[in-house]
Amino acid sequence: MSSRDPVFGWWDAPPFIGELIQSLSGRGRALFGLSSPPVQNRDLTGLAEMILSRRGEVSGAILAEAFLEAYRQASAPERDAFMRALLDRFGPDRTVLDAAAAAYNTEPSAENIARLHEAAEPRRQELFRRINFAKRGTATLVEMREHLMDMLAKEPALQPVDLDFCHLFSSWFNRGFLMLRSIDWTTPANILEALIRYEAVHDIDGWDDLRRRLAPADRRCFGFFHPQLEDEPLIFVEVALTDHLPASVDALLARDRQPLEVQQATTAVFYSISNCQRGLAGISLGNFLIKQVVNDLKRDLPRLENFVTLSPIPGFGAWLRGESRVTDSAEIAREKQRLLAQLEGDWASAGERELDQIQRAMLPLGAHYLLNVRRGNGRPVDPVARFHLGNGAQAERLNFLGDRSPKGMRQSYGLMINYRYRLGEIEKNHEAYAENGHIAATPALRKLAQPVSQEVF
Amino acid sequence: MSSRDPVFGWWDAPPFIGELIQSLSGRGRALFGLSSPPVQNRDLTGLAEMILSRRGEVSGAILAEAFLEAYRQASAPERDAFMRALLDRFGPDRTVLDAAAAAYNTEPSAENIARLHEAAEPRRQELFRRINFAKRGTATLVEMREHLMDMLAKEPALQPVDLDFCHLFSSWFNRGFLMLRSIDWTTPANILEALIRYEAVHDIDGWDDLRRRLAPADRRCFGFFHPQLEDEPLIFVEVALTDHLPASVDALLARDRQPLEVQQATTAVFYSISNCQRGLAGISLGNFLIKQVVNDLKRDLPRLENFVTLSPIPGFGAWLRGESRVTDSAEIAREKQRLLAQLEGDWASAGERELDQIQRAMLPLGAHYLLNVRRGNGRPVDPVARFHLGNGAQAERLNFLGDRSPKGMRQSYGLMINYRYRLGEIEKNHEAYAENGHIAATPALRKLAQPVSQEVF
Amino acid sequence: MSSRDPVFGWWDAPPFIGELIQSLSGRGRALFGLSSPPVQNRDLTGLAEMILSRRGEVSGAILAEAFLEAYRQASAPERDAFMRALLDRFGPDRTVLDAAAAAYNTEPSAENIARLHEAAEPRRQELFRRINFAKRGTATLVEMREHLMDMLAKEPALQPVDLDFCHLFSSWFNRGFLMLRSIDWTTPANILEALIRYEAVHDIDGWDDLRRRLAPADRRCFGFFHPQLEDEPLIFVEVALTDHLPASVDALLARDRQPLEVQQATTAVFYSISNCQRGLAGISLGNFLIKQVVNDLKRDLPRLENFVTLSPIPGFGAWLRGESRVTDSAEIAREKQRLLAQLEGDWASAGERELDQIQRAMLPLGAHYLLNVRRGNGRPVDPVARFHLGNGAQAERLNFLGDRSPKGMRQSYGLMINYRYRLGEIEKNHEAYAENGHIAATPALRKLAQPVSQEVF
Amino acid sequence: MSSRDPVFGWWDAPPFIGELIQSLSGRGRALFGLSSPPVQNRDLTGLAEMILSRRGEVSGAILAEAFLEAYRQASAPERDAFMRALLDRFGPDRTVLDAAAAAYNTEPSAENIARLHEAAEPRRQELFRRINFAKRGTATLVEMREHLMDMLAKEPALQPVDLDFCHLFSSWFNRGFLMLRSIDWTTPANILEALIRYEAVHDIDGWDDLRRRLAPADRRCFGFFHPQLEDEPLIFVEVALTDHLPASVDALLARDRQPLEVQQATTAVFYSISNCQRGLAGISLGNFLIKQVVNDLKRDLPRLENFVTLSPIPGFGAWLRGESRVTDSAEIAREKQRLLAQLEGDWASAGERELDQIQRAMLPLGAHYLLNVRRGNGRPVDPVARFHLGNGAQAERLNFLGDRSPKGMRQSYGLMINYRYRLGEIEKNHEAYAENGHIAATPALRKLAQPVSQEVF
């Protein structure tokens, strides 16, 4: 690659692109424009139009800052209105699009396809890109999508706008741009604070609890960060190093436990994964994170042999109580009733014999729920199961009373599960799952699910 | 923003997106897949198809690494063939596109527009995004476009592929993701080496010359960097701090000059801007850079009042010699002939009187060339003029024998120009230029251009 | 400076020094000595002798590591014994010292003085320097002095050992080696944790309280760090930016206060200074810290005009209750009794009128205590007063009920004081204070102290 | 360790220390003293007295800055005079010292020893420590010693001053405070520039040569840095990774050589060690550096088995030509004459047979020189030999024409030697060498030295 070529210079954009992707203004303008009054507009739609205008070409950054300021101060109804305007007024230029569609219909050449693709791009995409010129642009765009997501339930017609956010974010938050960082007790407090706020699986009860998860030698935590959101993890995973396949998160998080010497560890347990940015829902992060962390742990601690989760089964309780939309066979329904009858009051404090009975009733139903209860598209009803199985993991073992926290008892009557990421079988498992919904599971688990008659789905 | 909402979790992608932007494999897989033989394929097109296949969903990063390796080893003809395949085989799915176009024709709803836009996206866009999962993905994609650009001259049919590169890069190299860094004599050597390699305006003659441009207290250098290309500036600008409007680059770069005390500086001179990545041609970088640097300099050195360039006029020589495609009036043609006759042999070493004569002949023609000689679209013929005037700068002063280097003498018979970025007039200048090609210039310069009769363009 | 001189090389230590400061072993030896069994000795004195032996010359670092390990595992009595051994067995070589003293007595030449100085250096100084080769050497030496300080009260004969620690630390913790760092809410948690632990003036009540002191825009915190103790502040100061001279720490730290816009701030209030390393007691840190922080604040916020403290008066309560060793005049004793009589029960919650009475009785006694009550050497009895007045500050204003915390009420019945660091008078104030114990104070404060008859001291 | 003890605070220095190590001024004063005229004194001795005065207690840093400025501007004779004043006027207070000596003579108690040690400390030690308060204090003190070293040859009486510098530097540049840093092609240019300047063994011929030593995968470079001299390596070592014991530095540095794959490397060759700070001569750095680098290399590249040098024999040429002060036996003298007769003109370009003859004559003399030719104290005459053998290395192999550079030919007629750092024998070798001058050498080398009769030393 050489730029010494006498005819080549930074000004030599191929002309057709030069026109296309015109030069936009930089931040510096703040200074230049001292004479002109700063933009005080609070009309979001008007500002958005200005950003896309010729003025936006040279003063993009300053207008973007003005827009962000206005958005910050806008009321909820004003934001609602702006979201609707994004749909109504910032779609593609219909005249151009019609012409491009016509040209394509006449002659579907590569050039006409390119023109059609370009013409079909909603103007809001360029708007989003220009809003990103401002300092906290990316963060604000993520927040804007959060606002939109809250509206979607009632106004599904806004989905095309959401699609544009997704399209943009899946390009900007491409795996190649994410930075994996180790998080520990030497991490800046403002980032640790985010962990406390965003932990979604097993609540972190203040700084002392957080310290117990980060500081001991047998604990690890990793997060993905994005260059534009430096102080905000996108997603993080908490890992415990152990010498066995753990059955209970209460034991993992016990206050008085003795840390394991790292050299003794054979197993890395992913016991909590939490997303931090609701506005990035649907953007693939978790599977990349797990695989990267497995990779890095194996490199640094070659003695590690097992990479497992200790996961919640968030849908089990609702299904057991018959709250889910899935139809069970009569036999299953009976067994659910029988088990439910036992799960009254403070059952978890019952005697050993009684607990043993409950366990013998619960495990087969749990295995059945995970392996057999599917959605219309053949995927498991349980969302965490969908995630790990879709990543190529294998369902390994059910753990009775693995999570005695109020949340764990409510969600799944304390039942937990280990998924295992087994070297060399990920791709095969994923293939089988994607092809025909086949779930990788241990023979023991499969057998557990058998006594209960197979659901039709 | 709260992710504590019990029904929300990282697994809860809205389903229609979950299907759309499926989970792709991470780097970690390298480890998982120890049993399966590493991908040794050298067929670029085949690998690209594999990346887009279901296997690519879970093993995207490992396949991307394999692709990069194959691309690295590919011969020029193999790369050529791959570029053509990008056009022929990695466009949109025509069946889907036809259906979407038909639906749009029937009912141009927002939803159908969204579907049309999505359907019209060439498959190579997703391919590029997945190639980016690999470690040097971004850098390699930039190199791929360089290869493509070399082909474009002979195979203009490939332009739709180039458009897709541009579309991607203008999203990824969005101003919001660029990092401005000061470059000086404490900068890592591998980055400084890039300056020597990429300097496009005034060649840097080795490390001692570079040191003279970076180390003195009255010199500055700034570059844009991208998080994924850490060790590679994208573009950089060299700045001299002076107490006057400089007329000669030779004086600015003189070996034996005395540095100015920074407190004495009133003027920041941008005497060289160079792009480093040919594969990013057409992506707006230079105007952002200048404006940001003006901003930061003004903040740190409030006494600075003038922000000017000392710029080459790269097209002047060719135009004077009649090599350009522009048609001159007869009178201009005569004057050009007269001047050319004086510019024989080692004319720059002539006596004062003779030089004075030449200067009096050259300056009006220079002013005419800059202000009056236009392209078909009304923009100046000179590319550097287009850049700075399009950014809102003003043409300030011509400098006779401002650059006596062989390159300067060849390009423009030593003639240079200062453009001035004047606070508060940038936006107005840009507006007038964009609206009707009006060029901001000092009265003196405008007067210089008058004696020569106005060109029709 | 040139090392190109052909006769000079890194091996060319002047011979007399080469012998003197012999080459000692590095850490690397850990590797070299794989064959020889690691040192398992737990006899601290024996290990110390080994470190000073010829073996220590080449294996100093490995022996130092062994010593640190042994010290870590030693019991308190073992450590006590080692401290005594430092006194008894690691003084100077008496034979050499006697000879040097004799030579000096005979001929007090510069050379003989040098020899005497060298001969009088206790062997423990070299021991300390070699212990410092190990990884946490400096930190452990500081801890060793802490242990020694605990012994000193009962065994004052150990003071010569303490002197050697001090001598070493005042060289190693020289101002030139200290790094001032800003501490805020983005500081690593392990460092913030140290703040909570070490805050000595106004207790920090957990992480939320800490956040209130660090995160708001009108708060600052700075600490000195040492390169060898990276994660441990040596001393830190908490600063509030205000627009007035504050009278109450409770108001400064109120939970619900509104932060001030930084541009409104005119005053920097140093409301807490805490040492973190008890083992560095007596090493000058606080005065350097205050002056450096004033310097940096003034540079960054030129609008700041006042640099004041809001300080405790830790000795006032004890003096008022007659617990101090100072003899008061009969009149003062009477007034103290009168005031004490009022300070019964929950007096701070009394009505306005009663509080007013108490205030009118307390302030003159407070002013008298600060300005007139001195130690034998003419310095104030109050330690905080000694510190700030010795640094050149001026006593500014007494604040009734400035600190209503239990500690504040116990120490000084809530009374606080502002000291002011007034530009341009520091040196003069220090001079007068050092010369004849003159205390810089405002006329108002001086007048307050007058009604009470002057103490003789 | 707790500073919560209510009676302990940062102000509570044990009083006897509080007086001893009085609080000194900080940098901040620059600001405070705006009213008072800045110190413009150029009298170095007067400034030094001021620094040690009471004014220095509170304004130490500002006075230190003034002193540095004055020293910077002082002429060589002025600096000479200051060095003499350091000897004459900044020794210990003689009255105090006499009293302390008398007390010691009367009663040699630990306390009196401590007082004697303190009293014998020259005032210049405290002066140096206070000069270090200023920004470039440490660097300037190192330069001051360089100046002193230049004077020492003619004025050996100044040695006591040099001793004080050494005493200070060996405390400040203690191994525990040195930072090992890897130096490569991504290191800042200003540091790399120092390598070019300071390389003392095999000259670096500009930046391209430097790049060849740093950038290839089979090259390493490490340096010690000190926190106060961030941009200045103190000492650095250049390492080549090879798969054999190298015999020629010319081959190691050949322009056109092929880099070795790092995985193939079995041997780390230390082919150049250079000190950068002449003012630190005599301070142990090199042996620590080698051992630390061996340690780190072995950790990162466990396949490395051999740690050897390829070293010059700087004294061999002078000894061969009879220029050294060592007396040889008649037989040796004859052999030297015979060999010298062959080393005429461009002998290194002679035919194979002739070179073979020369080699057979030179190697035994080389071995004899290294193993048998000693100084009065039984240590080898050759300085590089003293260094490596004193560190516990073993003399391994002589290499004929290992260094054909002009410098190599002049110093030692091209002869080089490998020293080997053999795991597990360092300590034993050092012990034997230190005890009775025994040199560790291979049998082959020892045999080579035999034919030549044993020197008496």
DSSP, collapsed to helix, strand or coil, labels residue A309 as: strand
Q: Residue D111 phi/psi, 5° resolution?
A: -65, -40
**Other CB atoms closer than 10 Å to residue A128's CB: what's the count?**
26
Asked if B151 and B195 sit in the same domain, the reply is no
Residue indicated by tokens 């660029």: B178
Q: To 5 degrees, how large is the angle CA D372–CA D201–CA D231?
A: 130
* Distance separating alpha carbons of residues B80 and A149, to the nearest angstrom: 44
- Element of type H or E holding A270: strand A267-275
* CATH code of residue A406: 3.40.630.150
DSSP, collapsed to helix, strand or coil, labels residue B222 as: strand
Asked if A111 and A203 sit in the same domain, the reply is no
Asked if A297 and A343 sit in the same domain, the reply is no
Q: Determine whether the interchain pair A58/B274 forms a contact, defined as Cβ–Cβ distance below 8 Å.
A: no
DSSP C264: G
Q: Residue B181 phi/psi, 5° resolution?
A: -130, 140
Asked if A199 and A104 sit in the same domain, the reply is no
**Other CB atoms closer than 10 Å to residue D93's CB: what's the count?**
13
Domain final residue, candidates B172, B201, B228? B172
* Distance separating alpha carbons of residues A149 and A281, to the nearest angstrom: 9
Cβ B64 vs Cβ B132: under 8 Å = yes
Q: Residue C238 phi/psi, 5° resolution?
A: -100, 135
Asked if B100 and B229 sit in the same domain, the reply is no
Cβ C389 vs Cβ C395: under 8 Å = yes
**Other CB atoms closer than 10 Å to residue C191's CB: what's the count?**
20
Q: Determine whether the interchain pair C117/D117 forms a contact, defined as Cβ–Cβ distance below 8 Å.
A: yes
Q: Using CB atoms, which residue from C18, C58, C282 is nearest to D14?
A: C282
Domain final residue, candidates C113, C148, C172? C172
Q: Which of B7, B11, B224, B384 to mutate to test the interface with A (most CBs of A within 10 A)?
A: B11
Is C1 among the domain residues?
Answer: no
Q: What is the mean pLDDT of residues C288-308?
A: 92
Q: Which of C191, C182, C186 is nearest to A191 (CA)?
A: C186
Name C318's Cβ contacts closer than 8 Å, sequence gap at least 6. Answer: C324
DSSP, collapsed to helix, strand or coil, labels residue D336 as: helix
Residue C73 clears pLDDT 80, i.e. is over it: yes
N-term to C-term CA, chain B: 58
Output the pLDDT for position A231.
87
Asked if B297 and B347 sit in the same domain, the reply is no
- Cβ neighbours of B207 in D, within 8 Å: 189, 206-207
Q: How confident is the model over D229-259, as pLDDT tens digits? A: 988 999 999 999 999 999 999 999 999 999 9
DSSP, collapsed to helix, strand or coil, labels residue B417 as: strand
Q: DSSP secondary structure string, C363-392?
A: HHHHHHHHHH-B-TTSSBS-HHHHHHHHTT
Q: Using CB atoms, which residue from B189, B206, B211 is nearest to D187?
A: B189
pLDDT string in tens for chain B (457-residue length): 333 332 233 333 332 222 222 222 233 333 333 333 344 567 999 999 999 987 777 778 888 999 999 999 999 999 999 999 999 999 999 999 999 999 999 999 999 999 999 999 999 999 999 999 998 999 999 999 999 999 999 999 999 999 999 999 999 999 999 999 999 999 999 999 999 999 888 888 899 999 999 999 999 999 999 999 988 999 999 999 999 999 999 999 999 999 999 999 999 999 999 999 999 998 989 988 998 999 899 989 999 999 999 999 999 999 999 988 888 888 899 999 999 999 988 999 989 999 999 999 999 999 999 999 999 888 999 999 999 999 899 999 999 999 999 999 999 999 999 999 987 888 889 889 988 899 999 999 999 998 654 543 3
Q: Chain-centre distance of CA A241, in angstroms? A: 24
Q: Residue C452 phi/psi, 5° resolution?
A: -80, 130
Q: Which of A402, A392, A375, A384 is nearest to A435 (CA)?
A: A392
Is C360 among the domain residues?
Answer: yes
Q: Determine whether the interchain pair D11/C286 forms a contact, defined as Cβ–Cβ distance below 8 Å.
A: yes
Is D1 among the domain residues?
Answer: no
Q: Determine whether the interchain pair A423/B34 forms a contact, defined as Cβ–Cβ distance below 8 Å.
A: yes
* Distance separating alpha carbons of residues D101 and C104, to the nearest angstrom: 9
Region of D282 on the Ramachandran plot (φ > 0 left; ψ -120 to 50 alpha; else beta): left
Q: Which of A192, A190, A235 is nearest to A212 (CA)?
A: A192
Q: To 5 degrees, how large is the angle CA A230–CA A231–CA A233?
A: 90
- Cβ neighbours of C189 in A, within 8 Å: 185-189, 192, 207, 211
Q: How confident is the model over B75-104, as pLDDT tens digits? A: 999 999 999 999 999 999 999 999 999 999
Residue A62 clears pLDDT 50, i.e. is over it: yes
What amino acid is encoded at B283 in this protein? I
* Distance separating alpha carbons of residues A262 and A180, to the nearest angstrom: 22
Q: Determine whether the interchain pair A189/C192 forms a contact, defined as Cβ–Cβ distance below 8 Å.
A: yes
Q: Chain-centre distance of CA B445, in angstroms? A: 28
Q: Using pLDDT thresholds of 50, 70 and 90, give the confidence band for residue A427.
A: confident
Q: Which of A218, A263, A221 is nearest to A241 (CA)?
A: A218
- Element of type H or E holding B44: helix B44-52
Domain final residue, candidates B157, B172, B187? B172
Q: Which of B380, B392, B389, B374 is nearest to B428 (CA)?
A: B392
Q: Distance, in angstroms, between D257 CA and closest chain C CA?
A: 28
* CATH code of residue A18: 1.20.140.90
In this structure, the strands spanning B219-225 and B235-242 are antiparallel
N-term to C-term CA, chain A: 58
Asked if C27 and C98 sit in the same domain, the reply is yes
Asked if B145 and B14 sit in the same domain, the reply is yes
What amino acid is encoded at D359 in this protein? Q
Neighbors of chain D with 3 or more C-beta pairs under 8 Å: B, C
Asked if D61 and D108 sit in the same domain, the reply is yes
- Element of type H or E holding B179: strand B179-182
**Other CB atoms closer than 10 Å to residue B356's CB: what's the count?**
12
- Cβ neighbours of D118 in C, within 8 Å: 163
**Other CB atoms closer than 10 Å to residue A136's CB: what's the count?**
16
* Distance separating alpha carbons of residues B94 and B110, to the nearest angstrom: 21
Q: How confident is the model over A345-366, as pLDDT tens digits? A: 899 998 999 999 999 999 999 9
Q: Longest C-alpha distance within chain C, in Å?
A: 87
Is D3 among the domain residues?
Answer: no
Q: Determine whether the interchain pair A134/B32 forms a contact, defined as Cβ–Cβ distance below 8 Å.
A: no
Q: Determine whether the interchain pair C113/D160 forms a contact, defined as Cβ–Cβ distance below 8 Å.
A: yes
Asked if C240 and C207 sit in the same domain, the reply is yes
Q: Determine whether the interchain pair B384/A11 forms a contact, defined as Cβ–Cβ distance below 8 Å.
A: yes
Neighbors of chain B with 3 or more C-beta pairs under 8 Å: A, D
Chain D residue with minimum CA distance to B191: D186
* Distance separating alpha carbons of residues C314 and D8, to the nearest angstrom: 11
DSSP B457: -
Q: Distance, in angstroms, between C124 CA and closest chain D CA?
A: 12
DSSP D406: H
What's the number of domains chain C is made of? 3
DSSP B277: -
- Cβ neighbours of C188 in A, within 8 Å: 185-189
Q: Determine whether the interchain pair D423/C111 forms a contact, defined as Cβ–Cβ distance below 8 Å.
A: no
**What ipTM was estimated for this complex?**
0.85
Q: Determine whether the interchain pair B20/A104 forms a contact, defined as Cβ–Cβ distance below 8 Å.
A: no
Token pair, residue C52, equals 């000073």
Dihedral, A369, A370, A373, A376 alpha carbons, nearest 10: 150
Q: Determine whether the interchain pair B3/A114 forms a contact, defined as Cβ–Cβ distance below 8 Å.
A: no
Chain B residue with minimum CA distance to D187: B188
Asked if B277 and B397 sit in the same domain, the reply is no
Is residue A54 exposed (0-12), middle (13-18) or buried (19+ Cβ within 10 Å)?
middle
What is the SS3 assignment for D203-268?
CCCHHHHHHHHHCCCCEEEEEEECHHHCCCCCEEEEEEEECCCCCCHHHHCCCCCCCCCHHHCCEE
Is B5 among the domain residues?
Answer: no
Q: DSSP secondary structure string, C29-93?
A: HHHHTTSSPPP----HHHHHHHHHSHHHHHHHHHHHHHHHHHHHH--HHHHHHHHHHHHHHSS--
Q: Determine whether the interchain pair D189/B192 forms a contact, defined as Cβ–Cβ distance below 8 Å.
A: yes
Cβ D221 vs Cβ D296: under 8 Å = no
* Distance separating alpha carbons of residues B316 and B416, to the nearest angstrom: 10
Q: DSSP secondary structure string, B195-256?
A: HHHH--SS---HHHHHHHHHSSTTEEEEEEE-GGGTTS-SEEEEEEEESS----HHHHT-TT
Cα–Cα distances in Å, from C281 out to C145, D10, D54? 9, 7, 22
Cβ D308 vs Cβ D396: under 8 Å = yes
Q: Which of D93, D115, D90 is nearest to D105 (CA)?
A: D115
* CATH code of residue D283: 3.40.630.180
* Distance separating alpha carbons of residues A307 and D120, to the nearest angstrom: 66
Is D5 among the domain residues?
Answer: no
Token pair, residue B101, equals 């176009």
Q: Do chains B and D touch (3 or more CB pairs under 8 A)?
A: yes
* Distance separating alpha carbons of residues D79 and D66, to the nearest angstrom: 15
Chain D residue with minimum CA distance to C284: D23
Asked if D126 and D81 sit in the same domain, the reply is yes
Token pair, residue A394, equals 């294998």
Cα–Cα distances in Å, from C46 out to C52, C55, C134, C143, D304? 10, 13, 17, 20, 35
* Distance separating alpha carbons of residues A353 and D184, to the nearest angstrom: 68
Token pair, residue C383, equals 């330690």
Q: Which of D353, D357, D366 is nearest to D395 (CA)?
A: D366
Q: How confident is the model over C86-137, as pLDDT tens digits? A: 999 999 999 999 999 999 999 999 999 999 999 999 999 999 999 999 989 9
Q: How confident is the model over A231-283, as pLDDT tens digits? A: 899 999 999 999 999 999 999 999 999 999 999 999 999 999 999 999 999 89
**Residue range(s) defining the domain that contains residue B366:** 312-456
Is A3 among the domain residues?
Answer: no
In this structure, the strands spanning C306-309 and C267-275 are parallel
Residue A22 clears pLDDT 70, i.e. is over it: no
Is A2 among the domain residues?
Answer: no
Q: Residue B253 phi/psi, 5° resolution?
A: -105, 10
